[in-house]
């Protein structure tokens, strides 16, 4: 017998395979700003993952990755399960820009097996702008020899940005100090003379360099000395030459020569104000251009200051001025100014009437800049003065040309060879002579911002050719209701306080409408220029200033800067700083303050004040009349020489957050280095932008700065305040401050708001197409595209009818007509206007209603109800007997335009005069004299008398109509007529 059995044999894996990397090299990058635990990414922006395989299974195939180099281990780790590389510490491109290390892999078998060789990993730490630029020197010093000239180069400051991988765009500026005398090139850092009337023996400037986010400052000290007699002099007292503009060739300009040197003694020549367009050969005195073209329209004359000095004594010099005139070439075409051009002329204007004057300017010189005018075509009715640009009426219009538009193209040509030209369009509208007309299309008035209320500032006048009364109305440009115009006299007055410091009130444009009794309108603009008064006191940016210095500080040490702002303008806002103290210790012996920029600098050491706090005031005075001033307390903590003076991790902090940021959100952590137990606090100011309301707070222990109250970009788009760090010592505390700037980004959180819930407009029927009817205006408090408003028409019904009759300018909100309006067909229109913003994420909108009333004019003739009227009369009827009743109707609606009068204008069909009848107002034909048939020719007796009767509107503007009245006279009895 036989039997079967199943035997299962399991082959147990043995760890006999090494892990194998899929690639031999891996590379990735990560920003230095990436937070801890961030994933390194590959060039394809995918997570950088180290991958290896192991042919074994189970535990023998479980892989563990390890970084070999110890430096890389401090910053990165490899996830043991996925092979992804993450950061475990903060990175700094400026410390280590590239990491090159190895990663090994092993399995978990027994014994553990390792790959034959580790894999190479390269990680680039990408740079961000996280460091302020640094000047090459903390203090720049130079000597300026007198006399000097405008444009002379004083020195060049230089700064570098540690963020080398980020293309540096450094901008240099002077921080207010002595900006009246010196000027700095924003891109090169070259400091030049702006005004050569220098009265001091030395000047101290503070120069700032910014990379757009961070900035640094340095001091520039300029010592002034009179140039010593060198015994040298130039062969000419001055040199003069000229070169042509636009040339890119390197051209010899002039050769200067100085004499008075000893035999074989070399002289050195230099240009003190070469700019980028001139250079000089230092040994020969040959002045050349650099090849950068000149533009005469930007600068016509260059006065180069050439200096000759002995080779070993640079204080003994002689100087001469070389004047270089730039010759003009015709490289500019005429340009029309004051665009766009519109004009209106009365239909009954006489030939020679001035319609408009165009103006074009040409920046060239001489004949190249002389402009003449001509019309592109022969427009028949118009001509232009070749010299003045005056467009005049050459040929009178026909009376039926009212409301016609002409597009006239005007050319402006210069006198160059070849000549250059430009063209412009002038739209001329022929208007009805009944339209009201302003004396001026544009009025201007200047008023002081402290003007008394209800003071008249301007008289506006418009006249109606028909002698009708004019009503004046402000239609736009007065959002705060600060002005009033007397509707009858046209006197414009101020009725509410003006504020020059409000950006919307410094220069105001008010739009007026003049309306006559017939509904005809015209518009003009009034520009009100508000003149500043010294009504604001300088305001400091914080409630106090504190700083710390060591007692052994040297001369010229920058302590702190006080800053005040005056909201006035011009001289009223120019602030001068001075030290003010009533203490026994004279502050002026210890500190010097720059009167222009508020920087305080030490004059020497503070040894006698060690372990004390020096307190005093700084006074800020404006330049107005009368002057206004403010005082601010300043506290200087004088530390022992052995004290370690820390500093904030950054010279200033700048943040940008959206206005809908959640309250409690963290902006950043501020800390001092070297790290010490500091107590942090905000130092706020008296203005909202200086964190007066405590919008931002800081944790006193951790330095975490947070948002504590809701933001509103429309109220405060930016904040500037200080944060103080106080570190306790035995006798006097260390106090450090740093500037914090927070920019608030706008979000679309405001709808457009119309100035009125309803708008009403009145227009007379028959007005020309395209007339501006009314302007709707909506304001959106948001900024940028979120606050830009566009307008569209809307209607719940009959939208097509509205769109055929009206259009709206999407940008300005002006509603105008698209066709002649007819009161008899549509006496009123009602529609909606939708104002929508251009929000980047979504759009918000609001709606207002517009009602348009079309007033009636006498544009329809009366119409008889019948073409022929028949009546009867007896020979014996006395005068006053009713012969016939005539009936008419008129499509006009107003009572005055519907009144009709009647007159007999025709004769009987046989040519005989008939004076028997009289039309009695309004429509009854009566017998004027007795009818005596025997007086009439026999053949005419018993015949039908046919007379023409004329009916016309009372005002005569609507035309007239004729009808035929037929009578039969009978000797004995009346006859009833048939057709």
Q: What is the distance between the alpha carbons of residues 397 and 351, in angstroms, rounded to a whole number?
A: 9
Q: From CA 217, how far away is CA 137, in angstroms rounded?
A: 10
Q: Which two tokens stand for residue 825?
A: 């067909």
Given a cut of 60, whether residue 765 has pLDDT beyond it is yes
Please say if the pLDDT value at position 972 is more than 60: no
Going by pLDDT thresholds of 50, 70 and 90, the confidence category of residue 784 is: confident
- pLDDT, tens digit, for every residue of 482-526? 999 999 999 999 999 888 777 667 788 888 888 887 777 777 888
pLDDT at 910: 43
Mean of the per-residue pLDDT values for the chain? 83
Helix %, strand %, coil % of the chain (to 5): 5, 45, 50
Q: Are 169 and 211 in contact, with CB atoms under 8 Å apart? A: yes
Token digits of residue 212: 């757009």
Most confident region among 55-64, 663-672, 864-873 by mean pLDDT: 663-672
Q: Rounded CA gap, 759 and 775, in Å?
A: 9
Averaged pLDDT for residues 14-28: 87
Query: Within its chain, how far is the Cα of 619 from the centroid?
Result: 35
What are the tens digits of pLDDT across the range 225-241? 887 777 888 999 889 99
Q: How many CB atoms lie within 10 A of CB 763?
A: 21
pLDDT at 485: 94
Per residue in 78-127, pLDDT (tens digit) is 887 678 898 988 888 888 889 999 999 888 888 888 888 899 999 998 88
State pLDDT tens for residues 729-749: 888 999 999 999 999 988 888
pLDDT at residue 921, as a whole number: 44
Phi-psi region of 798 (alpha: psi -120 to 50; beta: other; left: phi over 0): left
483-485 vs 491-494, strand pairing mode: antiparallel
User: What's the CA gap between 356 and 901, in Å, rounded?
Assistant: 44
pLDDT computed for residue 909 by the predictor: 45
* The dihedral formed by the CA atoms of 350, 352, 356 and 357, expressed in degrees to the nearest 10: -170
Alpha carbon distance 413, 419 (integer Å): 7
Instruction: Determine the Cα–Cα distance for residues 222 and 433; give it in Å rounded to an integer.
Output: 72
C-alpha dihedral sign at 392, 394, 399, 405:
negative
Average pLDDT over every residue of 206-228: 84
Q: What is the dihedral of CA 336, 342, 348, 352, to 10 degrees?
A: -10
Beta bridge partners of 889: 863
Q: What is the pLDDT of residue 926?
A: 53
Higher pLDDT, 719 or 894: 719
Question: pLDDT by residue (tens digit) across 140-172?
Answer: 988 888 888 888 888 899 998 887 665 567 889
Q: Residue 480 corresponds to which tokens in the numbers above?
A: 């705060």
Mean pLDDT on 645-654: 87
Q: pLDDT higher for 492 or 930? A: 492
pLDDT digits (tens, 9 = 90+) for 612-626: 999 899 999 988 888
For residue 337, what are the contacts with CB-CB under 8 A and spacing of at least 6?
359, 360, 361
* Per-residue pLDDT at 119: 92
Structure confidence at residue 936 as a pLDDT band (50, 70, 90)? very low
979 pLDDT more than 50: no
Around 682, how many Cα atoms within 13 Å sit in the side-chain half-sphere? 23
> For residue 530, what pLDDT band results from cuts at 50, 70 and 90?
confident
- DSSP state for residue 799 in the 8-state scheme: H
Q: Are 205 and 177 in contact (CB under 8 A)?
A: yes
> Which residues are CB-neighbours of 301 under 8 A, at least 6 positions away?
323, 324, 325, 326
178 falls in which pLDDT band (50, 70, 90)?
low
Average the pLDDT over 332-344 and give the result. 83
Cα 874 to its chain centre, rounded Å, is 88
**Distance (Å) of CA 812 to CA 84, 204, 340, 476, 941:** 57, 51, 15, 11, 76
- Which residues, including other chains, have CB under 8 Å from residue 730's CB and lie 6 or more apart? none
The CA-CA-CA angle for residues 65, 66, 71, to 5°, reads 150
């Amino acid at each position: 017998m036989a039997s079967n059995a199943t035997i299962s044999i399991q082959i147990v894996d043995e760890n006999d395979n090494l892990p194998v990397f899929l690639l031999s090299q891996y590379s990735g990058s990560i920003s230095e700003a990436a937070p801890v635990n961030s994933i390194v990414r590959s060039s394809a922006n995918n997570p950088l993952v180290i991958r290896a395989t192991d042919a074994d299974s189970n535990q023998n195939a479980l892989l563990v990755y390890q970084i070999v180099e110890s430096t890389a281990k401090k910053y990165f780790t490899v996830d043991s399960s996925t092979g992804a590389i993450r950061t475990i510490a903060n990175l700094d491109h400026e410390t280590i820009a590239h990491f090159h290390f190895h990663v090994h892999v092993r399995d978990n078998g027994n014994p553990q097996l390792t790959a034959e060789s580790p894999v190479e990993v390269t990680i680039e730490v990408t740079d961000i702008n996280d460091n302020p630029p640094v000047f090459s020197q903390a203090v720049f010093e130079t000597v300026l020899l007198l006399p000097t000239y405008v444009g002379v180069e004083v020195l060049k400051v230089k700064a570098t940005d540690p963020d080398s991988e980020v293309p540096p765009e450094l901008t240099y500026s002077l921080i207010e100090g002595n900006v009246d005398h010196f000027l700095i090139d924003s891109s090169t850092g070259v400091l030049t003379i702006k005004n050569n009337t220098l009265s001091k023996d030395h000047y101290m400037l503070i120069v700032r360099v910014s990379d757009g986010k961070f900035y640094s400052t340095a001091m520039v000290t300029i010592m002034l000395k009179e140039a010593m007699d060198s015994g040298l002099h130039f062969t000419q007292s001055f040199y003069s030459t000229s070169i042509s503009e636009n040339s890119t060739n390197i051209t010899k300009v002039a050769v200067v020569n100085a004499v008075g040197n000893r035999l074989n003694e070399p002289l050195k020549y230099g240009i003190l104000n070469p700019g980028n367009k001139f250079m000089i050969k230092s040994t020969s005195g040959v002045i050349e251009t650099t090849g950068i073209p000149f533009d005469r329209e930007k600068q016509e004359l260059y006065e180069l200051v050439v200096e000759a000095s002995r080779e070993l004594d640079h204080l003994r010099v002689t100087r001469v001025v070389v004047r270089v005139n730039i010759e003009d070439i015709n490289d500019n075409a005429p340009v029309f100014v004051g665009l766009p051009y519109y004009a209106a002329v009365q239909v009954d204007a006489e030939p020679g009437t001035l319609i408009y004057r165009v103006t074009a300017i040409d920046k060239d010189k001489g004949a190249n800049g002389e402009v003449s005018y001509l019309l592109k075509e022969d427009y028949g009715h118009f001509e232009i003065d070749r010299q003045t640009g005056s467009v005049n009426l050459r040929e009178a219009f026909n009376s039926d040309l009212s409301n016609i538009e002409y597009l006239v193209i005007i050319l402006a040509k210069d006198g160059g060879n070849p000549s250059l030209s430009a063209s412009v369009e002038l739209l001329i509208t022929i208007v009805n002579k009944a339209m009201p007309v302003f004396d001026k299309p544009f009025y201007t008035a200047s008023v002081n911002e402290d003007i008394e209320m209800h003071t008249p500032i301007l008289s506006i006048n418009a006249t109606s050719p028909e002698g009708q009364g004019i009503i004046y109305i402000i239609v736009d440009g007065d959002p705060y209701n600060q002005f009033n115009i007397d509707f009858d006299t046209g006197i414009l007055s101020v009725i509410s306080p003006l504020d020059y410091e409000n950006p919307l009130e410094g220069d105001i444009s008010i739009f007026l409408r003049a309306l006559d009794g017939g509904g005809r309108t015209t518009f003009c603009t009034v520009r009100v220029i508000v003149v500043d008064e010294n009504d604001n006191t300088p305001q400091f940016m914080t409630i106090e200033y504190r700083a710390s210095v060591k007692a052994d500080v040297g001369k010229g040490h920058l302590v702190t800067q006080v800053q005040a702002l005056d909201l006035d303008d011009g001289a009223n806002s120019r602030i001068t700083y001075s030290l003010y103290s009533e203490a026994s210790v004279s502050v002026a012996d210890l500190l010097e303050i720059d009167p222009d920029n508020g920087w305080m600098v030490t004059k020497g050491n503070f040894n006698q004040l060690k372990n004390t706090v020096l307190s005093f005031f700084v006074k800020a005075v404006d330049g107005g009349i009368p002057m206004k001033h403010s005082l601010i307390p300043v506290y200087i903590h004088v530390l022992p020489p052995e004290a370690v003076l820390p500093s904030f991790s950054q010279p200033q902090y700048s943040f940008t957050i959206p206005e809908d940021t959640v309250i409690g959100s963290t902006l950043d952590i501020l800390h001092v280095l070297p790290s010490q137990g500091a107590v942090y606090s905000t130092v706020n100011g008296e203005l909202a932008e200086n964190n007066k309301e405590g919008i931002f707070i800081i944790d006193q222990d951790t330095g975490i700065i947070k948002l504590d109250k809701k933001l509103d970009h429309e109220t405060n788009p930016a904040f500037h305040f200080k944060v103080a760090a106080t570190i306790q010592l035995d006798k006097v505390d260390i106090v450090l401050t740093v500037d914090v700037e927070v920019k608030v980004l706008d979000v679309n959180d405001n709808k457009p708001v119309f100035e009125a819930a309803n708008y009403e407009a009145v227009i007379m029927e028959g007005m020309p197409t395209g007339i501006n009817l009314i302007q709707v205006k909506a304001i959106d408090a948001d900024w940028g595209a979120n606050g830009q408003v566009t307008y569209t028409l809307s209607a719940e019904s009959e939208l097509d009818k509205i769109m055929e009759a009206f259009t709206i300018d999407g940008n300005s909100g002006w509603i105008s007509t698209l066709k002649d309006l007819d009161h008899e067909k549509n006496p009123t229109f009602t529609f909606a206007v939708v104002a929508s913003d251009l929000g980047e994420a979504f759009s918000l909108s609001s709606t207002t209603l517009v009602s348009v009333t079309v007033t009636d004019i006498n544009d329809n003739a009366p119409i008889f109800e019948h073409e022929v009227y028949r009546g009867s009369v007896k020979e014996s009827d006395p005068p006053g007997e009713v012969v016939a009743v005539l009936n008419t109707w008129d499509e006009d609606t107003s009572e005055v335009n519907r009144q009709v009068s009647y007159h007999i204008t025709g004769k009987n069909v046989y040519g005989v005069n008939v004076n028997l009848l009289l039309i009695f107002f309004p429509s009854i034909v009566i017998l004027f004299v007795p009818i005596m048939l025997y007086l009439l020719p026999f053949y005419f007796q018993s015949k039908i008398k046919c007379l023409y009767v004329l009916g016309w509107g009372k005002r005569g503007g609507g035309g007239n109509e004729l009808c035929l009245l037929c009578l039969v006279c009978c000797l004995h009895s009346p006859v009833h007529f048939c057709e």
